[in-house]
Amino acid sequence: MTNGAGNQPPLLAVEGLIKAFGGLIAVNELSFVVQEGQIVGLIGPNGSGKTTALNLITAEWPTDAGTVTLAGENLLGRKPHGVCRRRVSRTFQMVRVFRGMTVLENVMVGAAFGSRRAAIRQARSRAAELLHFVGLDAQAARPAEQLTYIDQKRLELARALATEPRLLLLDEWLAGLNPTELQSGIDLVRRTRERGISLIVVEHVMHAIRSLCDHVVCMNAGRKIAEGGAAEVLRDPEVVRAYLGDEGDDA
Sequence spans of domains, the chain = 36-65+74-87+165-251, 97-164
What are the φ and ψ backbone dihedral angles of 196, each rounded to 5 degrees?
90, 20
CA distance 204 to 181: 16
CA distance 200 to 21: 24
pLDDT at 250 over 60: no
Helix 149-162 to helix 103-112 angle (10° resolution) is 20
Q: Enumerate residues 6+ apart whose C-beta is below 8 A from 137.
A: 128, 131
pLDDT at 83 over 60: yes
pLDDT at 246 over 70: no
pLDDT at 147 over 80: yes
Q: Which tens digit of pLDDT belongs to each residue from 166-175?
A: 999 999 999 9
Please give the single-letter amino acid code of residue 237: P
* Residue 188 near residue 154, CB atoms below 8 Å: yes
Q: Which residues is 199 bridged to in the sheet?
A: 39, 168
What are the φ and ψ backbone dihedral angles of 215, each rounded to 5 degrees?
-150, 145
Mean pLDDT of 13-28: 96
CA distance 56 to 17: 8
Task: Return the biggest CA–CA distance within the chain.
Answer: 54
Tell me the C-alpha to C-alpha distance, in Å, between residue 130 and each of 101, 103, 149, 180.
17, 11, 18, 22
Whole-prediction pTM: 0.91
DSSP character string of 177-228: --HHHHHHHHHHHHHHHTTT-EEEEE-S-HHHHHHH-SEEEEEETTEEEEEE
* CATH superfamily name and code, 36-65+74-87+165-251: P-loop containing nucleotide triphosphate hydrolases (3.40.50.300)
pLDDT at 118 over 80: no
